[in-house]
Structure 1
């Protein structure tokens, strides 16, 4: 059995784990509520945790961190695994529920809400051309592209081009200039094409030009500090960098169609991405499209605020109509020109689907975002849940491909609907 395990670890690039993983588990017992208090069964919550353990045992994720709220109360807030290292490392560090993890592209959902806040404050209108605020973006026929289309991945500039120099990611002015000078794939904004990196630079620039603040300052003032977040920031301070989870490539090597597709989306070879994301430069930079660091509880807290129509702990972080506008679909599911799979977007979020979607079975009303490569953060108003599944393993093809859907479907199955969305879809009006 030991020989078989070593063979599988080598073939699938699995994380070495001890036989007994109990020592790798951290449970926030002080804040987990009795499931029955929020209409769930203990057996159902135990089943979700069992599926989480099953996913962890695939070895694809050195660290898994999970937080689920139901009706605003935490029913699971747990982590298992390593902040860095593994069972074969002499200097391995075991993670906790307070270990910050990079959200990667799930950062986009937060950045999008900052732009929606700009509209709430009267500083922009989403249907305005982006070039009204960033005139140089109009180059090569992009003058009619709206802010709304940018949020919905229809701005026509999904990538930074081929063979991107990684240093461009850390030169904001050069990146903005390159994006503004680019030829669009569709100057009318009709083509859905996931903007993996470019959108964040443009949103940052929009905030700077309309408020005089950096995106980090704006986030701190309107979300992070009012919500009492310890992390929940783009990049980390020098003091916090050593506390962050280390990313690791796991699973089978990528090549062919999948490898080329990911390279086109990210602008870099997938293995280059792994090296970049563990660098101090990446962890200390501000990349609104992909380097927010947070705990699972903080990510779940943000989506709970969204579920509560912008309220958190007695504070109105954003207005109910702001949340409502942000989560309405921008169009039916269609093949995304970048990702090459069917996607359904709102202006800022990846939406669920029925009979199945990225957030589980019958998740039509769910909204959230995925992050490289198995990060999932979402809210489901029909089930009244906010969920964050964070991890440090970055597999695409690996032994997790059965266990991960099982966990996602298990969450939707064991957290049954509590709201008739046809009758209560506008119940935020009563709270405004």
Structure 2
């Protein structure tokens, strides 16, 4: 026992992890309405195995709070949380629950993109029109012909803000839009794929404001949040909900050298600074379309279940099937991303797509669509498996000792929820 504790203490020191008790059962919240997975050809043993991998992620010390919601065939077969909402390293930490809102960070982009697709559905914009048709100032510095579609697909040419621009710009929508509009484009025809970590969300919010007169949250409330009965699911949080939010923690190996420099280039500031900012009152009060939508795991899964159902939720039409199809359609072959500097990425106009033989959402997920959030937040739908999944967490490791458990969880979801829909047949019928 002594040796085991010494190992844990050493591991936590090296990986900046939190202390995890030997018995974690008291930190678990389970949805009593979980449906028997046998209805969908999945054994309860397999469901518990998936939960075991989720617990292992928490036990790594990298994520003070982890929550997962998995729907199969529209039924919630796994909806649980484990860990602390706040005070993870204190003597009296606050336990998290299924109702704890978590910042989705970049997974917010999938929701913002769907709002832009809704504008197109209603005839308020044309995705093939230049952004500058609606926001004339965006035409500056070679961006006049960049289309709304290219903006959604990370080809707008303004993936970041200059180093000398203060991060407080995030909290001033008008100033942020002015800054992005005056920046030169990487290329004037959108040929360069470069992930827009922050900038795209401000331009999307401005598009919504220009054509509807509504703020980002007002439009989200009208289109998604209220029709789908969400408690949270908004950019930023109301003041009364600040005390309930999951606090973010900088965990994992310290990022040094080229890793830290690239992350700073993408995020605008270093990882530890991002974590500090995300816990600030200013961030909680802001509306940042690319970075601060708050939701529970169940709410995020509910959103992707709605997309999986062709834009319908409990008899209400949120998006048309054609709008969903347009939003999740691959925008080109897998291509090198000049911002992320990783393996070739597959994008649609707003979503990160899965890949074969392995992708963001696990092995053999070619038909999956969703989005990654900083750093181990994953929200997606896989029509081939008829699943809608969200994994949300509060630790922000880039390199940590949780990676094996996370891969096992993703691989376990892919293998447990075996393909049940012939996508090739569906595509052939559509075409």
Smaller-chain TM-score bracket = over 0.9
Correspondence 1:27-66 to 2 at 5 A = 27-29=30-32, 31-66=33-68
1:360 to 359, 362, 383: 362
Q: Which runs of 5+ in 2 are unaligned?
A: none
The 10-residue stretch of structure 1 (326-335 or 39-48) with the greater mean CA deviation from structure 2: 39-48
Q: Contact 1:105 / 1:196 at 8 angstroms: preserved in 2?
A: yes
Shift of 1:158: 0.3
For residues 195-246 of structure 1, the C-alpha deviation after alignment (integer angstroms, 9 at most, x for no partner) is 0000000000000000111111010001000000000000001100110000
Runs of 4+ in 1 over 3 A off after TM superposition: 425-429
> Which residue of structure 2 aligns with residue 22 of structure 1?
25
Asked if structure 1 preserves the Cα contact closer than 8 Å seen for 2:331 and 2:349, the reply is yes
Closer, same or farther in 2 for the Cα pair 1:427/1:280, shift >3 Å?
Answer: farther
Quote the offset at 1:344 in angstroms: 0.8
Deviation, structure 1 residue 39: 2.3
What SS is found at the alignment partner of 1:61?
Answer: coil
SS at match of 1:149: helix
Once residues 25 and 333 of structure 2 are traced to their aligned partners in structure 1, the CA distance between those partners, rounded to angstroms, is 44
After TM superposition, list the pairs within 5 Å mapping 1:5-404 onto structure 2: 5-29=8-32, 31-86=33-88, 88-341=89-342, 342-404=344-406
CA distance in 2, matches of 1:345, 1:407: 23
For the residue of structure 2 that corresponds to 1:246, the secondary structure is coil
Once the two structures are superposed, residues 311-334 of structure 1 have per-residue CA deviations (whole angstroms, 9 ceiling, x without a partner) of 001101110000000000011111
Deviation, structure 1 residue 38: 1.9
Deviations 1:412-431 (A, max 9, x none): 111000001011237789xx
Query: Which residue, 406, 409, 412 being the options, matches 2:408?
Result: 406
Tell me: CA distance 1:114–1:12, structure 2 relative to 1, closer, same or farther (3 Å).
same
CA distance in structure 2 between the partners assigned to 1:279 and 1:301 by the alignment:
28
- Normalising to structure 1: TM-score of the pair? 0.97
SS for the counterpart of 2:370 is: strand
> d(CA) in 2 for partners of 1:53 and 1:130?
45
CA distance in 2, matches of 1:199, 1:168: 14
* Secondary structure in structure 2 of the residue aligned to 1:144: coil
1:90 is paired with a residue of what secondary structure? coil
- Measured against aligned partners, the alpha-carbon deviations of 1:3-36 in whole angstroms (never above 9, x if no partner) come to 221111111111111110000000001x200001
Over the aligned positions, Cα root-mean-square deviation in angstroms equals: 1.2
CA contact (8 A) 2:142 2:187 kept: no
Structure 2 distance, partners of 1:428, 1:58, is 45
Q: Can you list the C-alpha shifts for 1:348-368, whole angstroms capped at 9, x where unaligned? A: 000000011110111000000
Contact 1:130 1:146 in 2 (8 A): yes
Query: Secondary structure of 1:245's match?
Result: coil
Q: 1:383 to 1:28 in 2, by over 3 A?
A: same
Q: Distance in 2 between matches of 1:64 and 1:426?
A: 39
Q: Tell me, in whole angstroms, the C-alpha distance in 1 between the residues paired with 2:114 and 2:157.
A: 21
Aligned length: 427
Q: Distance in 1 between matches of 2:135 and 2:429?
A: 37
Give the TM-score taking structure 2 as reference length: 0.97
- Assess if the C-alpha contact under 8 Å between 1:197 and 1:289 holds in 2: yes
Distance 1:163 1:62, change over 3 A: farther
Residue deviations 1:341-395 (CA, integer Å, cap 9, x gap): 1211000000000011110111000000000000000000000000000000000
Distance (whole Å) between structure 1 residues aligned to residue 407 and residue 284 of structure 2: 29
- 8 Å CA contact 1:248, 1:274 repeated in 2: yes
> Closer, same or farther in 2 for the Cα pair 1:299/1:428, shift >3 Å?
farther
